[in-house]
Structure 1
């Protein structure tokens, strides 16, 4: 007892008296911290400092404030936005024939280009003072997603000028002269922009851009001016083949010291008319059979005046910071919109097909093997749409959360990939035969586009999510890094000492809380609601504590090595991501008024995310570089074992049935899908067949009963079925007319396109009429 008392007094003295604490604790830890501090390049540091922290910071804190999250109002559309959605957007969708666009024209029709320009689809992010639409992130996301349910090529064409590009960069950083010169022309569609960043040897590593600009003086328009002599070669540049203005990222050098002593100025962005002498555009790539304009641009020894730098000469060398700040918002809208379109379409039309397509006398959606795949589509689509909404909410609140948008981009596009694979599996032959009736093929081909652009998914998962999240979202690490980098070491030590004391308390609190939650199953954790979702809030709070604990231990023991231990850090990033997506699911359920019909989808999605967290932690513990420490962390987090299970079969069956049932739930879950009431339409033919079969469900049941009783042959379909049923008195003349129409729609819905052989050999697809 006396020993414990002496020990307690010693601890209080060491930690309670600042001079003793700094001498015995803080100074040695400070030196260790400076030694293990991950070395960062300029581009890494600027990326780390860019953007904001929002709900991701709460999840990293170990104590997420659920009341604050649920109190955040979901965004709504302004009157102008709603009018645009109801008017020009719907008119555009009715114009689009994706098979014609991708297979025949391999470009947008001229009338579509003209419509996009006239109605300012390229100007959603440009302010009204410059004749733009000035739409919110919510409207931008909605519009691009809805277009993508009809044509990925058109969606990409619209989304790029409204994401990272000249319009965004000019709005935030352009001089007044640049804004007046370019923004109204961009808004009116008189100018079409592209932005060139990626080159043959510079993709993820922007610091390795080989494109060079040399500051010099030369003659421009008859006068000697300060300018830049540029040489560049870029690829994968969307809209480059048709752009009239080129945004260009390059490394600027000042060998003559025209701006001062610094010779390597750094990454810089400039705006160049493509008509300028020496600018080369026109060549196209062909991105996986899609028709959006994507290609190369180059130039050799091209002179431009220095005031073409975006923001003017004062922004020379600030290009990378500008890019990452703008990219974080665009990344949360553009590619997630394509993934959302995949989810909505897959759920709506796979559900319809699974009901219309029958085998062994039953809709294929009644078979449990098919239901398992359908449930993944419905459950993941619920998560996809929930994540889209929460991320858009952050953007509409004025945040530019770089970690959240990275998580959103990576996981939504990956879930979109899984959803599309399941949809193709269920559709089988109908999904793989190209033609005007195939509503999956173009989207399937476009999935890798979402996976690779705006940060390839492997890079995003392994380097960005936890790499930025561990530093930006942690309540103390970034401040400690700044203290360690202080040139005044004593001042840095004092700052570090104050932070370290708080950090120790934070870490100890997380360790004890994680273990207590593990022992109690988190049943005493706070939750903002009751009912069937209360346990999910408690489990997410528990895993938030576990993440904070494991992140601290990882950074402490691995230091700079953690950046290279990508498999370890990526698993912690997966935990953070599933926490975020689980939060999005719960918030959507509350925002939608706790719809009871949504509960199976919520249960499925939450089981999926908790199981994902459990799997990520299992891999983390198993492969931690210090095995004994991995085992200790596993015991603290899961003292009775990891019991997170995959979604239950009962929820899978309920989701599959909901997908095959017309009504408000199906409409709410697939409201972004576009279809036209036309039986020759790419999606209309399936929707009309689905609805007609449900309307005649009593008639079909009567005929099935007659077939089982031997009163009607079991192998009849189409007009023959109608004739035999009418002859046998099983239906009346009015029902015969309805059944004739329904059978025509049903046979068209399960049909696939075939083509005349000769035109195909000439690159022209002429589909036979499907009867």
Structure 2
């Protein structure tokens, strides 16, 4: 006993006396940490430091404060925003004919361009003092989403000026002179902007752009001034073919020292009128049969004055930091808005089509195989809208959460692809044949556009989500990295010493907490709400703690190698993402007042997320190189096994049935989907047929029974069905009139477009 007491006293003295502790413990650990520290390039460091953290940090650290989270205000519109949505937006939507835009003109009609300019659709993020609308992220997201249910080409045209580009960069960094000159012109639509970042050798790795600017003397407006001689070659630039002002990113050099001693200044952003001598624009790409303006721009030895740098010469070399700081907001709004539109459109139209389209005497939505796909659409759309709202909530709170917006962009665009694939499977020929009645085809073809831009999804998942999350969201790692890279080694050691033992306590608490929650199924964990969702809060808290533990072990054991083991880090990113998405589902359910009609959708979504979290952990353990550590982690997190399962078949069926019912739930889940009360409208024809068939459901049931009895012939439709029913005295005159109208709508709804051969022939090329 005396020996044990002596040992404990010695350990306490060792930890309490700073010089001894640092010499025997901290210094060796510090040296090890410096060896395993993943190297960061300057562009990676700037990207890592851009933006801030929010709910993602609490989930990553294993201690989510659910009470505070649920009290966060839900997104809302100002009276001015609501008025714009009710009037200008609805007017625009009625003007859009996507078949004409894409297949016939390959451009928006002049009347639409004029209306977009006049009503300031390009100025949603520009302040009112400059003539802009100054709309919130909630309004921006809603407007882009609703347009996208009508026309992806129109939505992208509106989306781009309100995302990362000249308007946002000028707002945050422009000089007073630049703001006063450019922002009113951008707000009025007098100027159309584009932003040129990517090129043949720089896609997702935009920091590797080869385009250059050399500071030198040259002539501008008849005077010799210090300026920049630019050379660039850019592609994939949306709005470039019609832009009047070009935002340009390039690497800036000062070989003659005209600005100072530094020769390589770094990435810089400038604003250049496209009418300036040497600027080349106009050539178009054809992005997968879409009609939005996308193309190239290039210039050779183009001289511009120094004050065309956004922010002036003080911001020379700070372009990458500017881009990273501004990217988060746009990345959390624009492409996620397109994905949300896909979810709303596919749920509403697929539910209608599955009821209108009949096979073997039944709506196809009654067959279990179809219901499996429908359940996935409905459940996934609930997640899409929940995630859109939660990310907008963060942005409206003034946050710029780079990890959250990366998760939102990646997962929402991937889920958009999944629901579109499922809808195409159900619609079959209706979805394949392009024409004025096809509401899926252009969206299906546009899906890869969202997948590849603003950071390709493969890169976003494998490098960004966990790569940034591990350092930005962890309570100690970023500070430890800064201490380890401090050129003053003595100060770095002191800083590291202050962090080390707090980090050790954090890790031990996570290990103990994970084991206890695993053994007790987290039943002792407090839930912020009562009722059936309480168990989901408990399980998500448990998995949050498990992520914190696993991330620490992975970073400690693999160090810099974890950055290269993208398959492993991506799986931990998946855990964080599904925790965030499940949180979004719970938040929406509470914000909307726990709607009874949402029960099956919420259950499907949360069951799905827990299953995917468990699967990501299992695959991580199975592939972790240190088998002893993998076995230990599995034991701590799942001591009695991983019992998370996929959603049950009954949930898919319940969601499918809900999608085929005209109800408040259907309206709430698909409110972004625009349709016009017109039997010739691209979505209106299906919606009107659905409503008519629901109104006549009892009549169809009566005729179906009569068909089985042999009172009328089988497989009749249209006027033949009405005539047979009248002859058999099954319906009266009023019912016949209603059935005739309904059958006309139904036959139109299941039909596909056809064209005279000569209308599809290409125009012959002119000789020579």
TM over 0.5: yes
Alignment-derived partner of residue 476 in structure 2: 476
Mapped contact 1:53–1:401 kept (Cα < 8 A): yes
Instruction: Assess if the C-alpha contact under 8 Å between 1:48 and 1:468 holds in 2.
Output: yes
**Deviation digits for residues 587-638 of structure 1 (CA, Å, limit 9, x no counterpart):** 0000000011101000000111111111111111011121111111111111
Instruction: Find the counterpart in structure 1 of residue 233 from structure 2.
Output: 233
Partner of 1:767: none
Alignment map for 1:251-650 (pairs within 5 Å)? 251-650=251-650
Deviations 1:435-482 (A, max 9, x none): 111100000000000100000000100110000000000011011111
Alignment of 1:120-159 (within 5 A): 120-159=120-159
Q: Deviations over 1:420-442 (max 9, x none)?
A: 00000000111100111110000
TM-fit CA distance, 1:207: 2.7
Structure 1 stretch 449-458 or stretch 1-10: which is displaced more? 1-10
User: Does the 8 Å CA contact 1:374/1:422 hold for their aligned counterparts?
Assistant: yes
Question: Could you tell me which residue of structure 1 aligns to residue 736 of structure 2?
Answer: 736
Between the aligned partners of 1:103 and 1:381, the Cα distance in structure 2 is 28
Provide, for residues 670-728 of structure 1, a one-character-per-residue CA deviation record: whole Å limited to 9, x for no partner: 00000000000000000000000000011111111111111111211110100110111
- Match of residue 213 from structure 2: 213
CA offset at residue 10 of structure 1?
A: 3.6
Q: Write out per-residue CA displacement over residues 337-389 of structure 1, whole angstroms, 9 at most, x where no aligned residue.
A: 00000000000000000001111111110111110110000000000000000
Once the 2 structures are TM-superposed, how far is the Cα of residue 206 of structure 1 from its aligned partner?
2.3
Which runs of 4 or more aligned residues in structure 1 lie more than 3 Å from their structure 2 counterparts after TM superposition? 1-11
Structure 1 residues 359 and 493: alpha-carbon distance in aligned structure 2, compared to 1, 3 A threshold: same
Measure, in 2, the Cα distance between the counterparts of 1:20 and 1:653. 66
Shift of 1:763: 6.2
Whole-angstrom distance in 2 between the partners of 1:331 and 1:558: 30
Other-structure match for 1:651: 651
Q: 1:656 to 1:4 in 2, by over 3 A?
A: farther
C-alpha contact (below 8 Å) 1:250/1:269 kept by paired residues: yes
Match of 1:22 in 2: 22
1:198 maps to 198
CA distance in 2, matches of 1:365, 1:3: 76
How far is the alpha carbon of 1:12 from its aligned partner?
2.5
RMSD of aligned C-alpha atoms?
1.0
Give the 3-state SS of the residue equivalent to 1:241 in structure 2.
coil
SS in 1 for 2:573: helix
The change in CA–CA distance for 1:560 and 1:140 in structure 2 (over 3 A counts) is same
In structure 2, C-alpha distance between the alignment counterparts of 1:722 and 1:733, rounded to whole Å: 10
Q: In 2, are the aligned partners of 1:211 and 1:231 still within 8 Å (CA)?
A: yes
Counterparts of 2:14 and 2:502 in 1: how far apart (Å)?
A: 15
**Worse overlay, 119-128 or 701-710:** 701-710
| Helix, strand or coil at the partner of 2:641 | coil
1:2 positional shift: 5.3
Q: Which residue of 2 aligns with 1:245?
A: 245
Deviations 1:236-263 (A, max 9, x none): 0000000000000000000001111111
Q: Would you say the 8 A contact 1:43–1:206 is kept in 2?
A: no
Per the alignment, residue 62 of structure 1 pairs with 62
Contact 2:204 2:454 in 1 (8 A): no
Give yes or no for contact 2:341–2:673 (8 Å, CA) kept in 1.
yes
For residues 647 and 5 of structure 2, the distance between their equivalents in structure 1, rounded to whole angstroms, comes to 51
Q: What displacement does 1:9 show?
A: 3.3
Cα offsets for 1:494-529 (capped at 9, x unmatched): 111111111001000000001111111111112100
Q: Which residue matches 2:116?
A: 116
Q: Deviation of residue 7 (structure 1)?
A: 4.2
Q: Which runs of 5+ in 2 are unaligned?
A: none
Q: Residue 51 of structure 1: CA displacement?
A: 0.3
Give the Cα separation in 1 of the matches to 2:2 and 2:470.
42
SS of aligned partner of 1:280: coil
Q: Contact between 2:379 and 2:602, CA under 8 Å: does it hold in 1? A: yes
TM-score (norm 2): 0.99
Q: 1:4 to 1:364 in 2, by over 3 A?
A: farther
- 1:768 is matched with which residue? none
Residues 708/253 of structure 1: CA separation in 2 closer, same or farther (3 Å cut): same
Q: Is the 8 A contact 2:117 2:189 kept in 1?
A: yes
Query: Alpha-carbon deviation of 1:8?
Result: 3.5
Give, in angstroms, the shift of residue 203 of structure 1.
1.3
Change in CA separation of 1:312 and 1:634 when aligned onto 2, cut-off 3 Å: same
Q: Secondary structure at the match of 2:298?
A: strand
Rounded to whole Å, the distance in 1 between the matches of 2:305 and 2:562 is: 44
> Which blocks of at least 5 consecutive residues in structure 1 are unaligned?
765-771
Q: State the distance in 2 between where 1:7 and 1:618 align.
A: 40
CA, structure 1 residues 358+10, in 2 after alignment: closer, same or farther (shift >3 Å)? farther
Q: Residue 122 of structure 2 aligns to a residue in which SS?
A: helix
Judge which range, 17-26 or 122-131, deviates more. 17-26
Tell me the distance in 1 between the aligned counterparts of 2:515 and 2:165: 48
Does structure 2 retain, via aligned residues, the 8 Å contact 1:510–1:546?
Answer: yes
Separation in 2 of the partners of 1:18 and 1:584? 45
